[in-house]
Amino acid sequence: MSRIVYFFCAFALLLMSCQMETEPQLREKETRTCVYHFDFQNFEMWTLRDVKSRMSVDLFPDVDSSLLHRLMPNGDVESAINVFLIHKNDRYFLFDTGLGSYSGGALLDNLAAIGVSPADIDVICITHAHQDHIGGLLSHDTAVFPKARVYFPEKEIEGPYKNETMRQIGKAYASRIYAFMIGGTVEGCIQTIDASGHTPGHAVYKVDELYIIGDLIHAADLQIPHPECCAIYDENPERAVATRKRIYHLLEEPGSWAAGMHLPYSGVMHQFKVIRYNKMDFNKNCKN
């Protein structure tokens, strides 16, 4: 009998020691990782939520207050900063890079959660040069992605966008930065579409049936039914409205999907319905 008691005591101590060793790591994953997986016909995609956020009515000062009250009754709506990872033709394509870990972004944690390292990324496609889309390219002044080719729309790396961050990116990535004119393809498989208005060189990327729409939408609850509504971030509101309506028309095509950098998590919509967060549908905990 004493041997049985001894065995169970030893087993209990072993379980306690294992829990003590692994629990902090699991807790960190629960608070940092936020990953949603999609399996399209010819490629895989992951939404990597960099930051959880909300968009305030204050960002829409030119929109009728009664409309804002009806569609944003709490004074704000759910939003996010999303990054998208696609695996196609045995290559990893990253679309935008979020704020960066030193500004609270979770991109690197999310990549690690699905077993992808920065060195695995082959191509990075930038929609435009605002900080919450390019910050993750750098760790201080060092390139985060040591092998990736980085594509910028041509108009996003000239004029006012030649700021200190862009200069650091240019120095860190050097010959691995490529500027392109919108209308062609990137790496032979990603179509580029003019989405100017938010910024002069704002680009939408199309991968098969999926449109990666960048900052076309900031507050989905408002701007999906009312594309004429602009956030203060849209530098050319008239052009931004025209662009939204044009891209919306493309998204009405049967089978079309959209992935947006500020759509509520999971960051993806089909037929203008956002695929909402569901604990049963994604493969990592999500609390950031």
- 248-258 pLDDT, tens per residue? 999 999 899 99
- Of 114, 93, 74, the residue nearest 285 (C-alpha): 114
CA distances from 35 to 25, 88, 119 (A): 17, 18, 19
- Are the C-beta atoms of 44 and 87 separated by less than 8 Å? yes
For the chain, state the CA radius of gyration: 21
Locate the DSSP E strands across the chain.
35-39, 44-56, 76-88, 91-95, 123-125, 138-139, 142-143, 149-153, 177-180, 185-186, 190-194, 203-207, 210-214, 257-260, 268-270, 273-274
Q: How confident is the model at residue 277, as a pLDDT?
A: 57
Q: Give which of 200, 178, 175, 173 is closest to 190, Cα–Cα.
A: 178
pLDDT tens track for 118-147: 999 999 999 999 999 999 999 988 999 999
Q: In whole numbers, what is the pLDDT of the chain averaged over residues?
A: 86
What are 287's strand-pairing partners? none
Please determine, for residue 24, whether its predicted confidence score (pLDDT) is greater than 50. no
Query: Whole-angstrom Cα distance, residue 78 to residue 259?
Result: 15
- Give the CATH fold of the 34-274 domain: Metallo-beta-lactamase; Chain A (3.60.15)
- Residues recorded for the chain: 288
Tokens standing for 222? 């408002």
CA–CA distance, 202 with 240 (Å, rounded to integer)? 10
149-171 pLDDT, tens digit each: 999 999 998 765 568 889 999 99
Position 102 scores a pLDDT of 86
Over 70: is that where the pLDDT of 14 sits? no
Contact yes or no for 186/205 (Cβ under 8 A): yes
Tell me the domain boundaries of the chain.
1-32, 34-274
Q: Tokens for 122? A: 């082959």
DSSP for 78-120 reads: EEEEEEEEEEETTEEEEE---S-GGGT--HHHHHHHTT--GGG
Given a contact cutoff of 8 angstroms between Cβ atoms, the answer to whether 72 and 47 are in contact is: no
Q: pLDDT class for 286, splitting at 50, 70, 90?
A: low
Residues 6+ apart with CB under 8 A from 228: 241, 244
Residue 20 confidence (pLDDT) above 50: no
**86-122 tens-digit pLDDT:** 999 999 999 999 999 989 999 999 999 999 999 999 9
Model pTM score = 0.85
CA distance 197 to 224: 17
